[in-house]
Amino acid sequence: MANKERIHLDDLDQSKSLEQEDYKKQMKQLQLQLLGMQLRLREKKNSVILVLEGPDAAGKGGAIKRVVERLDPRLVRVYSIVKPTPEEFCHHYMWRFWTKLPSHGDLVIFDRSWYGRVLVERVEGFCSEPEWKRAYREINEFEKTLADDGAILIKLYLHITKDEQLGRFKRREADPYKHWKISEEDWRNRRHWHEHNEAAQDMFEKTSTPEAPWTVIPANFKWYARVKALKTVCERISRKLDS
């Protein structure tokens, strides 16, 4: 991994987009494909763990909705990860994720994840430098254990530009149906934009492995990002099931 070219998030090509007709056509095909693979998963000793990370307002929720909306809901769980509870805080940071892992044949989605240790906890100083540096090894070992047991790990990072984020923040504040999506914490994180980018770029270098590679998606255009996310999920599952 050390020889990989470093990803610079703010240098991503954010011009990729889709026309509405093309978006709807691809979305329908990919959702149907994923539904078929969900049924195949029940016959094998595999599970799917989908991790989504990215800056606030990058479209993680919208991408998750398109992944799950045509699936059998009995076989899907979505977890939105927030700060640990007092009980969780008294344990190793990975402790709270073990009970959320999927059974064989199921799909679990993490809207933010154990990568918080090397992202927000690193930037905000919620853990020490030795702790977040040690976490790269801990995470790689954790994910290899899951992959060896048949889990299909799919890790997506949706990224938007700082200007696009500002526009989305302002639209959320102005929309009474979306005002709940914006908080002071979002604005605080925005003030550390470059630190969060640096942490994510380190994360890609140190935790993108053959068992669990990162896919970084330019997300200024939501239709493109949603199709790219769903296509990546389908490709990763299909590769494992057909191997």
Where do runs of H (alpha helix) occur along 53-183? 60-68, 86-89, 95-98, 120-124, 129-148, 162-174
Domain tally, the chain? 1
Q: How far are the Cα atoms of 12, 27, 51, 64, 228 from residue 18, in angstroms, in the given order? A: 17, 11, 24, 19, 11
Q: Is residue 17 in a domain?
A: no
Report the pLDDT value the prediction gives residue 211, as an integer from 0 to 100. Answer: 94
Tens of pLDDT, residues 40-54: 998 888 999 999 999
Q: Is residue 119 in a domain?
A: yes
Residue 13 has pLDDT above 70, yes or no: yes
Q: Is residue 5 in a domain?
A: no
Contact 168, 35 (CB under 8 A): no
Report the pLDDT value the prediction gives residue 185, as an integer from 0 to 100. Answer: 85
Q: Is residue 7 in a domain?
A: no
Residue 83 has pLDDT above 50, yes or no: yes
Residue 2 has pLDDT above 90, yes or no: no
Band (pLDDT 50/70/90 cuts) for residue 3 is very low
What the block records as the tokens of 168 is 């989305």
Which residue do the tokens 């889709």 mark? Answer: 18
Measure the CA angle with vertex 91, ends 87 and 96; round to 5°.
Answer: 75
Residues 179-198: b if buried by 16+ CB within 10 A, e if exposed: eebbeeebeebbeeeeebbe
Band (pLDDT 50/70/90 cuts) for residue 181 is confident
Q: What is the mean pLDDT of the chain?
A: 95
Report the pLDDT value the prediction gives residue 116, as an integer from 0 to 100. Answer: 98
Residues 21-43: b if buried by 16+ CB within 10 A, e if exposed: eebeebbeebbebbeebbeebee
Q: Is residue 97 in a domain?
A: yes
In whole angstroms, give the CA distance from residue 198 to residue 195: 5
Report the pLDDT value the prediction gives residue 86, as an integer from 0 to 100. Answer: 94
Band (pLDDT 50/70/90 cuts) for residue 239 is very high
Q: Is residue 204 in a domain?
A: yes
In sequence order, the 6+-apart residues with CB closer than 8 A to the CB of 3 are: none
CATH number of domain containing 113: 3.40.50.300
Measure the CA angle with vertex 129, ends 124 and 132; round to 5°.
Answer: 80
pTM of the model: 0.95
Q: Is residue 21 in a domain?
A: no
Band (pLDDT 50/70/90 cuts) for residue 4 is low
Q: Is residue 18 in a domain?
A: no
Report the pLDDT value the prediction gives residue 38, as an integer from 0 to 100. Answer: 93
Rg (C-alpha) for the chain, rounded Å, is 18
What the block records as the tokens of 15 is 């011009």
Tell me the average pLDDT across 74-103.
Answer: 96
Tens of pLDDT, residues 197-236: 999 999 999 999 999 999 999 999 999 999 999 999 999 9
**Domain span holding position 180:** 39-241
Contact 221, 163 (CB under 8 A): no
Report the pLDDT value the prediction gives residue 1, as an integer from 0 to 100. Answer: 38
Report the pLDDT value the prediction gives residue 7, as an integer from 0 to 100. Answer: 95
Which residue do the tokens 């990989």 mark? Answer: 4
